[in-house]
Structure 1
Amino acid sequence: MKKNLLVALALCLGGVAQAATLVHNVNGYTLNGSELEQFVALEFDDGKVTRLYREAEAALASRAGERIDGKGATLLPGLIDAHGHVSSWGRALATVDLIGSASEGDAAGRVAAYLAEHPDTDWVQGRGWNQVLWPGKDFPGRAALDAVAPDQAVVLARVDGHAIWVNSRALALAGISAATPDPDGGQILRDADGEPTGVLIDNAMNLVYGVMPADGVAEFAALQHTALEDLARYGLTAVHDAGISAREAAAYQQLRAEGRLPIRVYAMLDVTDPGNDRYLEQGPLVDPAHQLDIRSVKIVSDGALGSRGAALFADYSDDPGNRGLLLQTREELANNMHRAVAAGYQVNTHAIGDRANALVLDLYETLNSDPDSAALRHRVEHAQILRPEDIARFPALNVIASVQPTHATSDMNMAGDRLGAERLRGAYAWESLLESGAHMAGGSDFPVEAANPFFGLYSAITRQDHAGQPPGGWLPQQKMSRKAALELFTRGAAYAAHQEQVLGQLQPGYFADFILIDGDYFALPEAALWQIPVRATYVAGKRVFPAAGAGPT
């Protein structure tokens, strides 16, 4: 009897080994805790890593039934974007792209070109304009859009998503006139006669959004699926979706049920959407396979620096009398935080200006006097402009700094104008946060920035744009090492989602989420880092890019 059991056990173990997959002939890197490890082959079975091989000779002895030749590629843990907007990325892929537009006229011309291809459109949407890059740096006006779209409503989001540029048709449909007051936490820009110019900032945007046709669950599911498939080609194996509506949550659940989530999603509920109250009542939704976790909320405290909506303690250096916008009162912020914590949800609060960051940290300090709240690992999304004395509060309060490195290199052309030299000491201070001992996570804030995580890695390491400017980097004392930057988009992001025991590194028992890239991330010249091509992306051992049927890597 004992002999038969041993034979059965041997057959069982042999079957498991034969079912495993070996990825060999690779230059592999992974974090093991805070240490960087190298390997030449990785074995996985049933979606999880079973072994790393440090030597090629040892890998030859693997009994894996399937072998993938990495052809000398570098293998890294799958990259995680800790702050993006998935539905908006899907929409950006299908609407007017204003990224890089050189002027107001150029942007309006792109609207005209879109309408020539989509003449039956009633609402023209787009995003990506940035007046800071235009001659004169002035905000645009409705007249340029009226000239190309007199009959359709046009709604174009600024690159940061904190302002929209609309035409007269959209203003009329929203009932916005010279008599319309600014809403709390918002601003209607006006001309010398008091008439709306066509630019609406922060909460004023809701006046137009409230009259636009609403997407249903099916429409959101289509946007999400398109976006997630696109994100996989950049080497992303997971994304934290920052602020989803109840319909978006339902769309994700539909995709999960249909087995159509190509990469992992960690969702933050928009706490201001009444439809999400039912999710708060149910409590956190944690997927055993971590394909879709819904266990956090997103709260927005202030606006953005580019539209002068970030809440500052002192006036904007280039706009005396303006200190930005708090989008919720202290009492409203506190109430939203408390009701989320009471439901067991992590709280992730957008804060860009120094006044907003200090306020959010004050509220977190109160929340985290309760150990159960502290265990939820609350986050500050952006943590962009900090007073130096507030940097040390992140580790002291057990608060995660969720940062987007490309914001520094995108904003360097105007941050000094907005803030002045003294406030830059605590601005975009990623290395200072790291040295403080704070937990950190890295993301992009797509579609505000490009979704390619190698852009973020490059920005964190060099503090330069893609042309290598400025020489030596902007605020170079805040440069990060290559290992620290990689950790932002792997272990750090996994920790920020309560997933550090199964994601963020490649060790036995962890999910086999990995990417194959051309070039050695740790050896390439810095200037080449943002250009690294991704050969293949795997989630739980399944290749999701190139898509099935697309041929070998």
Structure 2
Amino acid sequence: MKQLTSKILILLATCLAIACSPSQQQKADLIIKGGTIYTVNEQEATVEAVAVREGKIIFAGSEKGVVDFQGESTQLINLEGKTMTPGLIEGHGHFMGLGYNELNVDLLDTKSYQEIIDKIKIAVEKAEPGQWITGRGWHQSKWTEMPDEMVNGFQTHHMLSEISPDNPVYLRHASGHAGFANAKAMQIAGVMPLSKESLNNNQEVEGGEIFRDENGNPTGIFNERAMSLITQHIPESTEEKDIQAFELAVEACHRNGITSFHDAGIGRENIALYQKMKEEGKLGIRMYAMLTGWDRELLEEWYTKGPEIDTAHLLTIRSVKLNCDGALGSRGAWLLEEYTDRPGHFGHETLPMEFVKETAKKGLEHGFQVCAHAIGDRANREILDRYELALKENGEIAEDHRFRIEHAQHLHPEDIPRFAELGVIPAMQAVHMSSDRPWAIDRLGQKRIEEGAYMWQALLQSGVPIVNGTDVPVEPINPLASYYASVTRKTLEGKPEGGYEPAQKMTREQALRSYTLDAAYGAFEEDIKGSIEVGKLADFTIFDKDILTIPEEEILKTKVVKTIFGGKVVYEL
């Protein structure tokens, strides 16, 4: 009997040893080692090696331990001292806008009105007669020199109309909340001069504004919802061009180490395109898409059928994007107090707050997260108020709702703790501080800037995570720019010394987490990505420098050298 018991114990021990050692079936497809690997896992901040099989992490630990997972066909990547992090997540962007920015006239780097004219002149020479010329990215507050003729702080159309008399031109502001049209485009849209007598009654458009000079002539600037007067006349894109823009966007993401993308507001056409790309195996990015709140019929259809949570982790649709005010640059952000540099003007409420409450209620009822764009302090307060009402009225189904406010750029101090109290996630793009802070003080004044603008550390300390990103194509997709802004509070030129309102800087660990695990949390996906842990998706970004330790002036010089998506190298420098 003793001998039998002994044999059984030996057999069990043997079986256990076999079960605990990697068999041929458990050998890795890919092993990565030889550098610094940041996991964004509080239990084990760094590891020496990672093993991947069938697109998922099967080991994260020591170089000694990974040896057991190496087989004859295992691919090896030696980091050679480089740094790897979880795959970066763009927490708020516009995917097709990214692609189309590479197809149309890109004005992001223009520093003056004359530079815009120079670029459009080239486009006019290449265009067919009567063909629309479109572009995006100009921002008058970033210009190094201003034109002689300006109205309400913006340029007028005359120079643009002079170089393109026969081709309609429409150029979106970098923020996407204003547009600039030439005379031909305004003629097509039927936007005509007004008499001085009727000017005050006809300048405003509900939720927007047509800028006019003192004589009633349109300047070419269309703010917020007034943009539709022009955009409704621009021919729709073709399927071929959409696919081209999509593919360019995927490539741009991979070049920048982006493996997941929160697409902030898409309609039927983009949904169909993304589904087509997924079916054809061309999606190339993990897409977390928000339904546009502008299409109420679309929302009702999705409420009926419910969220689409992709088990392949490629295309998930479970949130709604609401656009509730404008941008600070175009003075469309909705403020509690008037603009410092435009007395009597408070910005625009671009969506009725009653609809915000209704959407929050229906979101809770049907399992959809609500993500509301708010830049001004009044917009943020009004949305928090509507969220709070909906949550209180639907307490039994409000658990773990993860409602978001996109941008949360300027907050009243009393509203900062409300995010954590209500469980509302701020999705903030740190690079906006770098780009906007030098002129934002003109809009808000010193007191409002110091007490409520870009309040990253205050929000983090209150107990709420921050989702980071770039709002591409408002800003370039480059995540290192947002990371740099997060930890320095400086412009991308490195000014000022010590940074703006330095108490609000993120630590480097917080900034990395905002681009990985906290961004995943903002999409209910922290269990499958955002950190390097066994069982999670094998999405990684490899840098040529250690962004957690290098001097801050080296951050913007850092390069993405590899992007790994589902265990496959999709970009290599």
The superposition leaves residues 406-453 of structure 1 with CA deviations (integer Å, 9 ceiling, x where unpaired) of 011111121111101111111111111111111221111011111111
Tell me the residue number matched to 2:135.
Answer: 126
The 8 Å contact of residues 22 and 68 in structure 2, kept in 1 or not, is answered as no
Tell me the residue number matched to 2:89.
Answer: 80
After the TM superposition, list the runs of 4 or more consecutive aligned residues in structure 1 that deviate by more than 6 angstroms: 9-12
Matched letter for residue 332 of structure 1 = F
Matched letter for residue 79 of structure 1 = L
Tell me the residue number matched to 1:168.
Answer: 183
The structural deviation recorded for 1:10 is 7.4
The 8 Å contact of residues 543 and 558 in structure 2, kept in 1 or not, is answered as yes
The 8 Å contact of residues 518 and 530 in structure 2, kept in 1 or not, is answered as yes
Of the three residues 266, 271, 278, the one matched with 1:244 is 266
Matched letter for residue 62 of structure 1 = F
Q: SS state of the match for residue 367, structure 1?
A: helix
Q: SS state of the match for residue 312, structure 1?
A: coil
Q: SS state of the match for residue 398, structure 2?
A: helix
Q: Aligned equivalents of 1:41 and 1:229: distance in 2? A: 27
Of the three residues 489, 497, 507, the one matched with 2:533 is 507
The structural deviation recorded for 1:182 is 2.7
Of the three residues 402, 420, 426, the one matched with 1:377 is 402
Tell me the residue number matched to 1:321.
Answer: 344
2:140 aligned with 1:140: no
Tell me the residue number matched to 1:62.
Answer: 69
The structural deviation recorded for 1:218 is 5.0
The structural deviation recorded for 1:216 is 5.0
Question: Greater CA deviation, 149-158 or 14-23?
Answer: 14-23
Structure 2 gaps of 5+ residues are 1-7, 195-201
Of the three residues 357, 360, 381, the one matched with 1:334 is 357
Of the three residues 271, 274, 282, the one matched with 2:293 is 271
Q: Aligned equivalents of 2:331 and 2:420: distance in 1? A: 29
Q: Residues 428-443 of structure 1: matches in 2 within 5 Å?
A: 428-443=454-469
- Percentage identity across aligned positions? 36
Structure 1 residues 19 and 329, CA, compared in 2 at 3 Å: closer, same or farther? closer
Q: SS state of the match for residue 336, structure 2?
A: coil
The structural deviation recorded for 1:265 is 0.7
Tell me the residue number matched to 1:229.
Answer: 251
Structure 1 gaps of 5+ residues are 547-552
Tell me the residue number matched to 1:460.
Answer: 486
Tell me the residue number matched to 1:298.
Answer: 321
Q: Residues 309-458 of structure 1: matches in 2 within 5 Å?
A: 309-369=332-392, 370-371=394-395, 372-424=397-449, 425-458=451-484
The structural deviation recorded for 1:476 is 0.9
Question: Greater CA deviation, 371-380 or 308-317?
Answer: 371-380
Q: Aligned equivalents of 1:170 and 1:341: distance in 2? A: 43
Q: Aligned equivalents of 1:431 and 1:18: distance in 2? A: 43
Q: Aligned equivalents of 1:57 and 1:284: distance in 2? A: 44
Q: Aligned equivalents of 2:130 and 2:30: distance in 1? A: 49
Q: SS state of the match for residue 447, structure 2?
A: helix
The structural deviation recorded for 1:329 is 2.1
Structure 1 residues 273 and 42, CA, compared in 2 at 3 Å: closer, same or farther? same
Tell me the residue number matched to 1:49.
Answer: 57
Tell me the residue number matched to 2:5.
Answer: none
Greater Cα radius of gyration, structure 1 or 2: 2
The structural deviation recorded for 1:19 is 4.5
Question: Greater CA deviation, 329-338 or 489-498?
Answer: 329-338
Of the three residues 111, 129, 152, the one matched with 2:167 is 152
Q: Aligned equivalents of 2:297 and 2:284: distance in 1? A: 26
Q: Aligned equivalents of 1:215 and 1:280: distance in 2? A: 28
Tell me the residue number matched to 2:495.
Answer: 469
Of the three residues 40, 43, 50, the one matched with 2:48 is 40
Structure 1 residues 168 and 543, CA, compared in 2 at 3 Å: closer, same or farther? same
Tell me the residue number matched to 2:560.
Answer: 534
Tell me the residue number matched to 1:550.
Answer: none
Tell me the residue number matched to 1:202.
Answer: 224
TM-score normalised by L of structure 1: 0.94
Q: Aligned equivalents of 1:394 and 1:258: distance in 2? A: 40
The 8 Å contact of residues 22 and 69 in structure 2, kept in 1 or not, is answered as no
The 8 Å contact of residues 216 and 247 in structure 1, kept in 2 or not, is answered as no
Superposed CA RMSD: 2.2
The superposition leaves residues 500-546 of structure 1 with CA deviations (integer Å, 9 ceiling, x where unpaired) of 00110010011111111101112211111122111111111111113
The structural deviation recorded for 1:320 is 0.4
The structural deviation recorded for 1:173 is 1.4
Aligned length: 542
Structure 1 residues 147 and 27, CA, compared in 2 at 3 Å: closer, same or farther? same
Structure 1 residues 120 and 266, CA, compared in 2 at 3 Å: closer, same or farther? farther
The structural deviation recorded for 1:262 is 1.3
Tell me the residue number matched to 1:488.
Answer: 514
The superposition leaves residues 138-184 of structure 1 with CA deviations (integer Å, 9 ceiling, x where unpaired) of 31212111111111110101111110000111112112223565321
The 8 Å contact of residues 466 and 527 in structure 1, kept in 2 or not, is answered as no
Q: SS state of the match for residue 544, structure 1?
A: strand
